Amino acid sequence: EAGVTQFPSHSVIEKGQTVTLRCDPISGHDNLYWYRRVMGKEIKFLLHFVKESKQDESGMPNNRFLAERTGGTYSTLKVQPAELEDSGVYFCASSQGRTGDGNEQFFGPGTRLTVL
């Protein structure tokens, strides 16, 4: 079974440009999470989808970030316009069913975003 995949693995863009990150969760996983790690600091929660609905977007830093999950399958995270402080590694994770203790979050390899 394929794991969580993310695309691209790396992205280098200029300040002010737009970037779209994609996450494909494990098939059948209703829960999808976005996290990011900035400058070697802690990994921070961004938002949580259950199927196509946003359950919790309390971690989204500002309105330059837009996340979608079309049809409850893959998800995209768009940053527009990108700023220098957006540089970091963006992780996606997915889990089955309700988020009980038995439902492990499986992480993708991350997308490293560099804004110049």
Chain contacts with other proteins (rule: CB under 8 A): 3-4, 31, 33, 35, 37, 40-45, 48, 55-56, 59, 91, 93, 95, 98-101, 103-105, 107-110
- How many other CB atoms sit within 10 Å of the CB of residue 72? 15
Contact predicate 107/93, CB 8 Å? yes
Closer CB to other proteins, residue 20 or residue 105? Answer: 105
User: 85: helix, coil or strand?
Assistant: helix
- As measured in angstroms, the least distance from the Cβ of 29 to other proteins is 13
Closer CB to other proteins, residue 93 or residue 113? Answer: 93
- As measured in angstroms, the least distance from the Cβ of 113 to other proteins is 16
Contact predicate 21/113, CB 8 Å? yes
Q: Which run of H or of E encompasses 90?
A: strand 88-95
* Distance in angstroms between the alpha carbons of the first and the last residue of the chain: 37
- As measured in angstroms, the least distance from the Cβ of 14 to other proteins is 26
Closer CB to other proteins, residue 93 or residue 115? Answer: 93
